[in-house]
Structure 1
């Protein structure tokens, strides 16, 4: 029953919690992999730009990350309740509760930091560049690129195209 409640509570969080990150430790590696892919794919391009970096964590790793955040949230809520006088218990009850939560938080942090299984299913990043077209004009094109944990490109899809004149105009590939 506990596991079912846990899943019911965390599933909505998981669905909506794949957020954009700006200083993820793997972001530069992903950008380098996409740059290498672009160098091997396009005949010519200029002014590459990256944004919308999103790591899609595995379920197991995501649960270890969210556990730390949720325990921290409970600690902060209890401290606010105690400070406002709405905590239903004695000072000893409060201190015992906070101590237990801090211990659980330390354990959760160790579990997260020592996680030794696969952490991400893939990364998603938006790659913009002026790419040379068959008309010898450069168009500003956005590709949504999926990169696996080994920094291999899984998929690249054109998402936006600025400056395209007609449907006969094509990207010049190597």
Structure 2
């Protein structure tokens, strides 16, 4: 199972997420917002030092479909530049904000062979529901081996979910890891 976290880094919630991942021997891919990278560089350094992968979630988390292609590319390129200061990679897998990838950006990525990183399992932790509600939903329809799980490291509910789910997933035999490296 591939673990992914969007919308960070967050000064309150990313550290406990990282602590839980370390405790349970899990790695993840963190799709970071560029302007937060500059605001919380120590968290980005810790993400990389702890063995996690970095992904691009745009500079300011805009509605990409509302931007012309040149502005979309600035959002992505600016974030890649910020991320590369931490992991040395020139480009990173891109996950569009809210999962909305405009056709013009999709065609551009197809032309240049750039990776778009979606998910196959949505935890719905961004809905601001209480952790017990989210946990019940996930138990009723759990992720499967090989799924890419979408979570967010900017909410306390995610921390509570992980505290319950990581040991459960380990007990069920899941290998919890970052997405495979691909072309950014």
TM-score of the two chains, using structure 1 as the length reference: 0.21
Q: When you count strand as a share of all residues, which structure comes out higher? A: 1
Larger Rg: 1
Q: Which has the higher contact order (CA 8 A, sep 6+)?
A: 2
